[in-house]
Amino acid sequence: MKALRITAMLLGAMLATSAMAQTAPATQKKVKDHRTQPEVFFLQEGDVANSLELLPPPPDMASVQFLYDKARYDWGKAQRKTERGEQAFQDARVGGDGVPRAFSEAFGIDITADGTPEIYKLVVGMREDAGDLATRDAKNYYNRVRPFAFFEEMTCNPEQQEELSTNGSYPSGHTSIGWATALVLSEINPDRIDEILDRGFQMGESRVICGYHFQSDVDAGRVVAAGAVARLHADEGFNKQLDKAKKEFARLQKEGKVKPGKKNHAIHN
Catalytic residue among 217, 219, 222, 231: 217
Is 174 an active-site residue?
Answer: yes
- Specify whether 198 is catalytic: no
Which residue is catalytic, options 72, 127, 146, 174?
Answer: 174
Q: Is 127 a catalytic residue?
A: no
Q: Give the CB-side neighbour count of residue 132, counting CA atoms within 13 A.
A: 18
Q: Looking at 136, 213, 222, 231, which residue is catalytic?
A: 213
Residue type, 100: P
Q: Which of 127, 146, 199, 207 is catalytic?
A: 207
Q: What is the 3-state secondary structure (H, E, C) of the chain?
A: CHHHHHHHHHHHHHHHHHHHHHHCCCCCCCCCCCCCCCCCCCCCCCCCCCHHHHCCCCCCCCCHHHHHHHHHHHHHHHHCCCHHHHHHHHHCCCCCCHHHHHHHHHHCCCCCCCCCHHHHHHHHHCHHHHHHHCCHHHHHHHCCCCHHHHCCCCCCCHHHHHHHCCCCCCCCHHHHHHHHHHHHHHHHCHHHHHHHHHHHHHHHHHHHHHCCCCHHHHHHHHHHHHHHHHHHCCCHHHHHHHHHHHHHHHHHHHCCCCCCCHHHHHHHC
| Whether residue 217 lies in the annotated active site | yes
- Maximum Cα interatomic distance, the chain, rounded to a whole number of Å: 105
Q: How far apart are CA 90 and CA 207, in angstroms?
A: 11
Q: Which residues are catalytic, by number?
A: 174, 207, 213, 217
